[in-house]
Amino acid sequence: MATPHPIIHVPDVGHEPHNPVRDDSKLAPTEDLDREPDGVPHSVVGLTAAFSVMLAMLLAFMFIAGGTATRVAAVVLMLIAIPVLVGTLRRKAERERDHVHPSR
């Protein structure tokens, strides 16, 4: 086994760290295992992915299968639907975000 670089060493924390799995007695006062650690509600992440894919598929189908009028309608739909989708999901995320236990 190779010896590590002389500057690199394992930090000494002074105790064995215990990560709480579901033992509430080992939680710090500010820890909450039920919060969403990234601060964004996971339902909003899923809805963003689903609606983005569906909108992209609809617009691609309109471009491939349609004529000039359908392509113009696809561009108009894109210019309207994307800001509406982003704004609606932003409001939903803000409404459902955990303000008591914000992410770190």
Q: What is the pTM of this model?
A: 0.58
Contact by Cβ (8 Å): 39, 50: no
Structure-block tokens of residue 1? 């086994």
**Burial group, residue 48, by CB count within 10 angstroms (0-12, 13-18, 19+):** middle
Ordered per-residue pLDDT tens for the chain, 104 residues: 566 667 777 666 666 656 556 667 766 776 666 666 566 778 888 888 999 999 999 999 999 998 999 999 999 999 999 999 999 988 988 888 766 666 55
Cβ atoms of 96 and 44 within 8 Å: the answer is yes
